[in-house]
Amino acid sequence: MPFVKEKFIVPKEMPAFLYIMRTFDATQGEAQRLITKGRLLINGMSMWRPGEKIKGEIEIVYFKAHSQNHSPLFQNKDFMILEKPSGVLVHPNTMSTPYSMLDEIRHLAGNDANATHRIDMETSGLLLASKHKKAETYLKNAFEAKTIQKSYLAWVDGKILEPFSVTKSIKTNNDYSLTKHKVFIDDSGKFAHTDFKPLHYDENLDATMVACYPLTGRTHQIRVHLFHVKHPILGDPIYGTTFNASNAYLDQTLEDEERMIQMGASRLLLHAQSLYFQYNSKFYVESKTDFSKMKNFICKKEKRRFNR
């Protein structure tokens, strides 16, 4: 478990935030945030005032990284690039999340290390992480400024023979009563553009592997753009399936076999393939995963059903 509760002995009276700073080599801000989140306990009860003086036995709930030995694809003194497996979160979404990529990042580089961009849980592929705060600020700003170029690979439903582009604005969904889509195409949304290039068509599966080049970085951009042109990504549990199937997936009640039929694959077949950026020098890194083999996860075309 990444979040643990451990006992500590405060040998002499001191402000709570100061003890946290010294024990965890934290900044004053980090120490104060830990306390205001109720993660310092005295006699089993959270205390909330960072400046309050403490002494004796206390308990602290904190993130303690546990590695599963995912070695970086590349690293230097400033950052690392890892291959994220499908099904693994980048950051824990609750204190009970058993494992996330943050475990590997912090295990390798300490508490100041962090992921610098988002990847959906079921998307696999390259994850860029900083090793210190200066690198984190630089890389996050570079993603925001669109100076880091990313490419993806996807297996999609149907036959695509020619390259194409989608320029459709994307808006956040505020009403999940009729659809589980997190975003949707809408002229009042934020500008979004993606270029697509078909790489291989498998006639037996009626599926095409495509390269995806997002010019912008909107939430679920590649997924919703491919759904919009009626070539949903195989295995997508949100776009290209029914409300009931999406709801069952989100409630974790959808059977594996039913997911194959309703969504076309046992996982979201989207993969972060390459990163091109500058950090003192220029870097271009490609995933070592053979994504063409991911077609083994695809449901036979005569069995799968889509809601387009």
E strands present in the chain:
3-15, 40-42, 45-46, 53-63, 74-75, 79-84, 114-115, 124-130, 149-157, 164-167, 170-172, 183-185, 193-202, 207-214, 270-279, 281-286
Question: With 80 as the cut, is the pLDDT of residue 2 above it?
Answer: no
Query: What pLDDT does 307 receive?
Result: 58
Q: Are strands 53-63 and 45-46 parallel, antiparallel or unpaired?
A: unpaired
The pLDDT mean for the chain works out to 94
DSSP element (H, E) containing 69: none
The answer to whether the beta carbons of residues 268 and 274 sit under 8 Å apart is: no
Residue 34 contacts by C-beta under 8 Å, 6 or more apart in sequence? Answer: 20, 26, 40, 60, 62
Q: Where in the chain is the domain with CATH 3.30.70.580?
A: 74-144
Measured CA to CA in angstroms, residue 119 lies from 127, 128, 197 at distances of 8, 10, 21
With beta carbons less than 8 A apart as the criterion, state whether 102 and 115 touch. yes
User: 3-33 pLDDT, tens per residue?
Assistant: 889 999 999 999 999 999 999 988 999 999 9
pLDDT tens readout for residues 94-143: 878 889 999 999 999 998 999 999 999 999 999 999 999 999 999 999 99
Highest mean pLDDT among 92-106, 147-161, 173-187: 147-161
**If DSSP codes are grouped into helix, strand and coil, which group holds residue 222?**
helix
Closest CA relative to residue 50, chosen from 18, 26, 13, 22: 18
**pLDDT class of 308 with cuts at 50, 70, 90:** low
Greatest Cα pair distance, the chain, in angstroms, is 73
How far is residue 143 CA from its own chain's centroid? 15
Domain with CATH 3.30.2350.10 in the chain: 149-297
Start-end of CATH 3.10.290.10 domains in the chain? 3-63
The dotted CATH code for 3-63 is 3.10.290.10
Fold that domain 74-144 belongs to in CATH: Alpha-Beta Plaits (3.30.70)
Superfamily of domain 149-297: Pseudouridine synthase (3.30.2350.10)
Per-residue pLDDT band for 163 (boundaries 50, 70, 90) equals very high
